[in-house]
Chain A
Amino acid sequence: MTPSRARMITWTAAAAIVGLGVAVSQCSPSGPRTTRRAGVSDTAIAAEKTYVAPGDLDQYYMFSSGGHSGQVYVYGLPSMRHISTIPVFTPYPATGYGFDDDSKAMLGGLTWGDVHHPALSETKGEYDGRWLFVNEMNGRIARIDLRDFKTKQILGPVPNVSGNHSGAFVTPNTEYAMMGTRFSIPIPKGTYAPIDKYATEYKGVLAAVKIDPKSGAMSLGWQILMPPFDFDLGDAGKLLSDGWMFWSSYNTERATGKLEVTSTQKDRDYIAAVDWRAAEKAAAEGKGDLIGGVRVIDPKKVPGLVYLIPCGKSPHGVDVSPDGKYIIGSGKLQGVTTAFNFEKIQTAIRNKDFTGDEDGVPVLKYESVKDAEVQVGLGPLHTQFGTDGFAYTSLFVDSAITKWKLGTWEVIDKAPVSYSIGHLSAAEGDTVSPDGNYLVALNKLSHGRHLNVGPSQPESSQLIDITEEKMKLLYDAFTEPEPHYAQIVKADKLHPIEVYPKEENKHPLAVWDVNQAGVTRQGNKVTVKLVAVRSSFTPTAVEVNEGDIVTVAVTNIEQTTDELHGFGLLDYNINLVIDPGETKVVTFTAKKGVYPYYCTNFCSALHQEMQGYLIVKPR
């Protein structure tokens, strides 16, 4: 071989190697093998199914939790239009919530809350359209009256309950709204115990908040003392299992420190099954101790109230099937969801089929109470129900929903969602008679499936058609942080008012006649009765002295739909919005100077002229 020929071969080989390298580098996959378009409805069909023509109404209300925004958001289905925001735990200037004396007092000095699980009131296990209860992490629970979509009561922080994640779940006749501890602490609140005493001196608490059947008023019911597990979610038994309450828990290791490691050592955690009728009876008989002002029952001393069911590692959802027969527990670090059989649970309790106990609470034998482990996919979180025994389980890790069947345990379909679904909500999907029709995937991440709004991205809620064998994605909606759970109820179950009727306004400071509006004084306390009606306030000037304690009561004497008036007082951080027929009151200390007040909520052609002055004479 000549040197020149050898050189040529060398160069050719080198070129070939480089070429091959370039070619191989071009071969890296451009996308995943499974296309994200799977499970998407035909565009025209999806458009038709979700299109609600202007002026037409949606079929369902969806009440979506607003997470740490502290609010509840109201959507219409199937359009997925955001219709209204109900402020609950956070001031909301748009409706003046948290600015008037009453709502400010109700917020109790806290200006945020982490809203988790909305629960509609029920009668015989069906939504009755009366109230919506929502829990939040500071240990509070709120009641929204669906007659006017307003927060009417905030109870709490409920004593002893710390990190109220595992609420609000109502019993089938709204006897109770249940809640529980996520972050165990020594109780009562304010008690000191070092962290190394966590396993013994820190306590979890399960709490039943009593609901007045007529008024919906909430009061502290009774509580159950539990080991320091992290109670996560719950669902009340229904029909067959009525009278029982189920809570999932994690960190049954009773670990501290970095829980992502320390609390995931055991293969199974627990579902706590509580015979709440028996607990109610025990509380009525005066059993248990008053701790933090509430009757707390120790199951070690009152046996027969609580049992622990082993469930796949770190469970999130625990959901009772519509007939009450199955309790579906999903260990979120597993690939299966487990169906427990209520009758088997009862048999195991009768036969004392226990494998041990936790602080005196018996642990049932897993094999004796489970009916099936359903191969749903990775990271099962939460299950909802459709018609004909179909169940839908969200899969956080797989970012998908799996449809399967109760009883046969067969997996029927799996649809991808975008992305990383937490909870899901089916139309009346946690009642005794789910509607089918629609399912909403409440996703944690939207990953830019929307116009770019910068790094602070919205969550996504996806509407899925579940009327056919295969699930079909219909619509993406982008929702405020953070939809932890939602309730979807048929629109015709709600009958809200449009104005507050004059006859119902019993407010002592209300005035309905402009001639009765005006200023009265008692010492340095000044009461201003103000009338708002298109397009003026009466009076239009209020003169007080510096340092006076001024109470302004604004009555909107309109009785016409949507004729809201606002009362913005500049430089005082005062902003009321008064609905037709409503009276709102705000109290403040006058500072010298002249301050305009004006109508903030556009009311009429002469809205801009609706104004007045607060004139404060110096001392």
Chain B
Amino acid sequence: MARKGFLERSAAFLHEPIGAAPRSVLVLAAVLVVSAHFLALWNLTMFAPQYPDGLRLDIYDHALVGGNGGQDIKEINILNHYIGMRDLAMEDFTEFKWIPFVLGGVALLLLRATVLGTVKELVDATMVFVYFGGFSLWSFGFKLYRYGHDLAPGAAVKVPPFTPPMFGYKQIANFEVYSYPRAGSYLLVAVGLLLVMALWIAWRQRRAPAS
């Protein structure tokens, strides 16, 4: 029998049902996506001689939370007003309004794929998740850029525009700034890996080509 072309084979694969193992993986992935809502996604920590304990900022999918009972965010804003940076204010971040919905949507898509159970649904969910992840990272980086560049011209202290680090360490004036993903982001990375794994298992378990 002649071997089918790649596209035909892929199209056929998309309509294949997925087995119990990939479905279990999808349920787990859905649980992790929901869990990520409750955990910090990112953290920025800033040390200066006067701040030996550091100023801490945790970013959740729905909120900015300052360390020291919320006080650190006020302190960051007080310091930033000297260089003309806008206040970090929750209402300026539309992300906090829609990201929880997107995460919920992704979780529903994963459950849908579990129930309907074909590779197609799995691929749909994966695509939405990857797009969401990529867009969120870009958006985060863009926000950091804007905050560091949209400095009020009349500020008391003039500093050259800058971008706070998105990943890693940067010295900004008297501050050592550290920026790293937190548990929520690692969960989402795990979700991505689980989806790849589910696809891979589904591929391995695909029905043998009809003879």
Q: Which residues of A contact B (CB under 8 A)?
A: 533-535, 558-560, 605-606, 609
Contacts and interface: CB of A to CB of B under 8 A. Distances in A.
Contacts of A606: 82, 156
15 contacts: A533-B78, A534-B78, A535-B82, A558-B78, A559-B71, A559-B74, A560-B71, A560-B74, A560-B75, A560-B78, A605-B82, A605-B157, A606-B82, A606-B156, A609-B156
B83 to A, nearest CB: 11
Main secondary structure of the interface of B (DSSP, over half): helix
Interface in B173-211: none
Interface string B55-75: 000000000000000010011
Nearest to B74: A559
Contacts of A535: 82
A606 B83 CA distance: 12
Contacts of B156: 606, 609
Given A535-B82, A605-B82, 13 more contacts: A533-B78, A534-B78, A558-B78, A559-B71, A559-B74, A560-B71, A560-B74, A560-B75, A560-B78, A605-B157, A606-B82, A606-B156, A609-B156
A534 B79 CA distance: 9
A499 to B, nearest CB: 8
Contacts of A558: 78
Q: Which of under 10, 10 to 19, 20 to 34, or 35 or more describes the interface residues of B?
A: under 10
Which of A533, A558, A559, A605 lies at the interface centre, i.e. has the most chain B CB atoms within 10 A of its CB? A559
B57 to A, nearest CB: 15
A605 B156 CA distance: 10
Contacts of B75: 560
A565 to B, nearest CB: 12
A550 B7 CA distance: 85
Nearest to A559: B71
A131 to B, nearest CB: 26
B199 to A, nearest CB: 50
Shortest beta-carbon contacts, A-B, top 10:
A559-B71, A560-B75, A534-B78, A606-B156, A559-B74, A560-B71, A533-B78, A606-B82, A605-B82, A560-B78
B117 to A, nearest CB: 52
Contacts of A560: 71, 74-75, 78
Contacts of B71: 559-560
B132 to A, nearest CB: 36
Contacts of A605: 82, 157
A572 to B, nearest CB: 29
A535 B75 CA distance: 13
A558 B82 CA distance: 15
Which of B78, B82, B157 lies at the interface centre, i.e. has the most chain A CB atoms within 10 A of its CB? B78
Interface string B77-121: 010001000000000000000000000000000000000000000
A558 B71 CA distance: 9
B205 to A, nearest CB: 58
A534 B75 CA distance: 10
Nearest to B81: A534
Interface string B19-35: 00000000000000000
Contacts of A559: 71, 74
B25 to A, nearest CB: 46
B130 to A, nearest CB: 41
B119 to A, nearest CB: 54
Contacts of A609: 156
A28 B120 CA distance: 113
Nearest to A534: B78
B47 to A, nearest CB: 15
A39 B156 CA distance: 60
A605 B157 CA distance: 10
A558 B75 CA distance: 8
Contacts of B157: 605
A521 B156 CA distance: 33
B72 to A, nearest CB: 9
Contacts of B74: 559-560
Nearest to B50: A562
